[in-house]
Amino acid sequence: MKYTPHTCVCIYLVLSTLGSCGGKILRIEAESAKGNNPKRYRSNASNGEDVWLHRGAMLSFSFCLIRETNASINNVMFSNDGGADTCSVELNGVEVGEFESTAGSDGGLLWNVFKSSGSLGSSMTLESRWNTITLLVEFADDYGIEIDHIDVNIEDDDVNEDILTCILPCLSDLPVVTVAAPGLTEGRAVQRSYSTQCAEEDNVDVAIFNTDVTKYEITASLPTYRSFLNLRDEDTRNCPFLTPIYWLYENVIVSPNTKSLTSNSSELFFGDKAAPEPYTITKMAVTFTLEGRKKGYIDTEIGSTLYMTMNSPDAPSDVVVSYSHRNGTIIEFSPVTFSDSLTSAVWNIPDFTWKEDLTNNIFVTVQSTALDQQLVNFRLERRYMGPDVVIPLYSSGRIVLEGIRVDFWWQAPETMELVRPSTGDTWNNIAYFRIYVSLPWSDGYSQVFVLYQDGNMRLLNPTPHGLDWTPFGTSVILGQTDVDDFRPAVSITKVEIEPEELTMKIIYSDGSSTDAKLVTSIEQTKLYVSNIDFKKSTTTHPFATFRSMYVQVGNTDSDSIVSDTSTTNPILGGDWTTINGTSFLLYRRCESKHLTQSPDIRLQVTETE
């Protein structure tokens, strides 16, 4: 391959946050340039190397942005051992400034003495498109000039490496949302979201209010951006609440003299108890807290398993375990004798035992003639949850309907009943159900709809031709939630469904009800909601709630919200608290590495009183 003096840089960058003026510094290492410009080892270079350039040589690299953003050249680090050289720097073909190296020579030693150009020119407003920085050597002596790195000030706190390197590009033309019909009562979207680093946590919570809503529709469509990626694997990094282990103690001496220990939200205490000769009794107590339904977790509701492993004891040791139940009683297990032949034991603690917001207790007594036994492992875990059970409910050449029973539902003991009025068929203890539609270009089916007992509704456009399946993403809670709940939810007691017509009547525990009809086309799926009969105030309770995920731009299920009365706002990190309108769209302006092909979701009020 023949190379020209114009060299394309494969960006090797470091991002750092600016302190006083906001934004971030993008550092581009010159030695990451593709091409045949010589690289030199320099111990004082920021990455141990730099690039040697001569007159007429050019370095050029591209970067992308989220939105229209001001950028400026903060600094160019260079070295010179010879006559003065002149370099210019351009942004998108517009020269922003130039700098000159100082003439001087020290037998080549000055090549390892780097100097700063300082800031060059003023800032420029750049678009989210493919932007280019170019460094051109305008004049140089025979010895040339060496470039270490270029620092660019990007005045956007949300920008990150995946965006800057154009791995995850962003839209230049943003979607516009229009009103469904004139004369509708205007509603509002209320921000209830919070930050997270866990990509499997629905931290986006946007409640939709409208005092007079009588009909609305929800549409799932292909992402506004166009991508050939179909990333859909779980990302459980930074999700500590997913681990089944509540607390763990290892290599602990069982003695009244052992000092208290801590693990996660627990503390292990030691004490003694009078015992007949020649025995010693050591008392242990573990106090701990767990999260429950108030935070959207199951840990105070689901059962637990207690594990204990001892080193082979010098003498048999009788172990008695007990725990405090949420009803105030103390439950004691039968004694277990640890010996050379039995060094491990397991105790199963049933569902609905632990307390939320209060301290829980497990007590252990160890009686033995041997002193200072060693606990190799002592831990409490969430009990094993069996796989979901799929109940086939209906199947035709066009529609498949399945109900799902789960081992432990987070709103247990609440469950949902499914009824098919035309046949009288009834299915109980359903946690959620899902609907598939047949695909016209194959003999397969595409899952397009899921409704959970807690009101969480997932909607998906049919799988595009050429893909095996695409993931759900942003969801909508159907019904009136308590806006102050950490994990908003409703309680659906019954759904009357006619599968072939794809019609539903949703009945809630408070007596509220709505009708819904599902309609699919090649590019989108719609849910039409009508005959709304709410029992709670529509002023204080939303009629629907968006749920989604946002870690950072490029790692989201949605990153933006727009309504028929407002322009696009960031879904998280902006200064908005309320957005008015009758039509709201949650979408991604930047391609995401999480559930890339999951849909944009639009909620549109179509009729008000």
Q: Whole-number mean pLDDT of the chain?
A: 94
- Residue 168 pLDDT: 94
Q: Do domains 6-164 and 241-382 have the same CATH topology?
A: yes
Task: Please spell the DSSP secondary structure of 425-455, one letter per residue.
Answer: EEEEEESEEEEEEE-TTSS-EEEEEEEETTS
d(CA 29, CA 521): 49
Rounded percentage of the chain residues whose pLDDT exceeds 90: 88
Task: Please spell the DSSP secondary structure of 197-260, one letter per residue.
Answer: S-TTS--EEEEEE-TTEEEEEEEEE--SS--S--------TT-GGG-SEEEEEEEEEESTTPPP
Q: Which two tokens stand for residue 303?
A: 């059962």
- Residue 33 pLDDT: 74
Residue 5 has pLDDT above 60, yes or no: no
Residue 10 has pLDDT above 90, yes or no: no
According to CATH, the superfamily of the domain at 6-164 is: Galactose-binding domain-like (2.60.120.260)
Tens digits of per-residue pLDDT, 123-152?
Answer: 999 998 889 999 999 999 999 999 999 999
CATH code: domain 241-382 is: 2.60.120
Tens digits of per-residue pLDDT, 492-503?
Answer: 999 999 999 999
Residue 331 has pLDDT above 70, yes or no: yes
Sketch the domain layout of the chain as residue ranges: 6-164, 187-232+389-608, 241-382
Angle at 472 between CA 413 and CA 421, to 5 degrees: 55
Confidence class for position 3, pLDDT limits 50, 70, 90: very low
d(CA 494, CA 508): 7
- Residue 14 pLDDT: 56
